[in-house]
Amino acid sequence: MIQHIVMFKFKESANGKTKAENLREARERMLALKEQIPQIRGMEVRFAAEGSAPANYDYILVSQFDSMEDLSIYQKHPAHVAFGKFVTELREPDGRACMDYQL
């Protein structure tokens, strides 16, 4: 089993919406992928606690896949690619970190 973790640091505002609005929309869109991409075994999205240090990331995705091959299928899926384009507009230029590891 592969654990896939991605963190984003969002802009204060983007696309005419506040950070809080964009965080909620990003979570809704990400969680909707679970119904579209069968390789996803589990998925959780959380936001940083109110009052966290400003340098902290704002959004974390923790998801599970049976294999690196399934993770690759997910990453190339058109729905995931579309999400990536969407969230790129909302996050800081260097505001992404990722790690994959074997459970």
Residue-wise pLDDT for 16-71, tens only, equals: 999 999 999 999 999 999 999 999 999 999 999 999 999 999 999 999 999 999 99
Model pLDDT, residue 62: 98
Q: pTM for the full model?
A: 0.93
Q: What is the pLDDT of residue 1?
A: 97
The CATH number that domain 2-102 falls under is 3.30.70.100
Instruction: Please report how many Cα atoms fall inside a 13 Å half-sphere around the Cα of residue 39, on the Cβ side.
Output: 19
The domain spans of the chain are: 2-102
6: three-class secondary structure by DSSP? strand
Identify the bridge partners of residue 47 per DSSP, sorted by sequence position: 59
Spatial separation of the C-alpha atoms in residues 56 and 53, rounded to whole Å: 6
CB 35 within 8 A of CB 43: no
Distances (CA, A) of 64 to 47, 75, 77, 100: 18, 13, 16, 9
Q: How many CB atoms lie within 10 A of CB 53?
A: 6
Average of per-residue pLDDT across 74-81: 98
How many helices (H) and strands (E) the chain has is answered by 3, 6
